[in-house]
């Protein structure tokens, strides 16, 4: 009888040890181990927990429509977050940062303004180029000056509106005129003749669009993305040849002292993600992937 009991006891212990061994060997990670940081959703955004709290984003005026849609999509994934945008010309935004304005993210419509912000210690680094843009010529729908091509901009009687030289799109326009002048078909002195027709230098690209839309100018140079559905019916769009165009690069960076780094970083990650890039492409931007 004692032998039978011992045999039963040994058998029970053996079964228990085997069960414990199987349970321990089935998963090397403890039950509460965090998921691998490399796991990603199909949209290319890391499957991190939702972020919370408010951020302020300073962004070039040409990003207005696309960033508002990106905000809506971002908040669907992060319902506890909030985003306040300040849209204006990139140099105006940089100046506001220099004067003590608080923001978490700075998105410039050109690299030079971001470089100046970095040199002044306003941002943490040179940022990442997240999108590109190109120039077009616009006229009012009625087109009273009969402008049909860039070469017409040197007509002595026209009223041309540009963004100011320090505003990215204004700088790009002037660079484009300089390229045109080097082309024999435009002729020597073309850039100077065009600039004599400038009747207003605006502080951002949206103001250029508005003045042309309202017929207060015969023509303007803006980004292709600025001819949105809201204004397209009132404008004629004249392409600028690639060889004479200037491609704008937009960098985005954290400011020097963001109040909400987790949400600011998550916003930048979303802008540069597959999903964010798809929104930017929808609005006519050239995404960094091509």
Q: All domains of the chain, ordered by start, with CATH?
A: 53-132+249-287 (3.40.190.10), 135-244 (3.40.190.10)
Between 149 and 46, residue with greater pLDDT: 149
What pLDDT score was predicted for residue 201?
98
Model confidence at 238: pLDDT above 70: yes
Model confidence at 11: pLDDT above 60: no
| 8 A C-beta contact, residue 167 and residue 202 | yes
What pLDDT score was predicted for residue 282?
95
Within 127-253, where are the H helices? Answer: 168-182, 190-196, 205-213
Mean pLDDT calculated for residue range 214-221:
97
Strand-pair partners of 119: none
What are the strands of the beta sheet with 198-202, ordered from one edge?
A: 198-202, 160-163, 219-223, 135-140, 235-239
Q: What are phi and psi of 25, to 5 degrees?
A: -80, -10
Model confidence at 38: pLDDT above 90: no
Model confidence at 8: pLDDT above 70: no
Between 77 and 10, residue with greater pLDDT: 77
**Strand pairing category for 53-60 and 105-107:** parallel
pLDDT digits (tens, 9 = 90+) for 137-187: 999 999 999 999 999 999 988 999 999 999 999 999 999 999 999 999 998
Confidence label for 35 from pLDDT (cuts 50, 70 and 90): very low
Compute the mean pLDDT over every residue in the chain, rounded to the nearest whole number.
87
DSSP character at residue 199: E
Q: How far apart are CA 6 and CA 173, in angstroms?
A: 95
Confidence label for 47 from pLDDT (cuts 50, 70 and 90): low
What is the distance, to the nearest Å, from the Cα of residue 18 to the centroid of all Cα atoms in its chain? 58
Mean pLDDT calculated for residue range 32-52:
53
What pLDDT score was predicted for residue 5?
41
pTM over 0.85: no
Within 54-141, where are the H helices? Answer: 64-77, 90-98, 111-119
Confidence label for 22 from pLDDT (cuts 50, 70 and 90): very low
């Amino acid at each position: 009888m004692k032998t039978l009991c011992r045999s039963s006891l040994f058998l029970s212990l053996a079964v228990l040890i085997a069960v414990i061994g199987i349970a321990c060997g089935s998963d090397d990670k403890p039950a509460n181990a965090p998921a691998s940081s490399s796991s990603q959703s199909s949209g290319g955004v890391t499957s991190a927990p939702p972020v919370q709290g408010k951020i302020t984003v300073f962004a070039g005026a040409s990003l207005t429509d696309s960033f508002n849609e990106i905000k809506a999509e971002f908040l669907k994934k992060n319902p506890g977050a909030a985003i306040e945008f300040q849209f204006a010309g990139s140099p105006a935004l940089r100046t506001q940062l220099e004067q003590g304005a608080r923001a978490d993210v700075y998105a410039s419509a050109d690299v030079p303004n971001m470089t100046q912000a970095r040199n002044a210690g306003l941002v943490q680094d040179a940022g990442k180029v997240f999108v590109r843009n190109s120039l077009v010529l616009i006229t009012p729908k009625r087109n009273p000056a009969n402008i049909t091509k860039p070469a017409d901009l040197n007509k002595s009687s026209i009223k041309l509106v540009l963004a100011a030289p320090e505003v990215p799109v204004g700088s790009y326009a002037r660079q484009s005129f300089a390229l045109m002048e080097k082309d024999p078909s435009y002729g020597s002195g073309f850039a100077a003749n065009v600039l004599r027709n400038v009747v207003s230098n605006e502080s951002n690209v949206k103001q250029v669009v508005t003045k042309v839309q309202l017929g207060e100018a015969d023509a303007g140079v803006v980004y292709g993305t600025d001819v949105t559905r809201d204004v397209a019916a009132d404008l004629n769009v004249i392409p600028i040849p690639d060889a004479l165009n200037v491609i704008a690069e937009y960098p985005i960076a954290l400011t020097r002292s963001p109040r909400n780094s987790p949400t600011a970083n998550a916003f930048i990650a979303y802008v540069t993600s597959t999903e964010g890039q798809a929104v930017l492409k929808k609005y006519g931007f050239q995404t960094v992937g091509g």
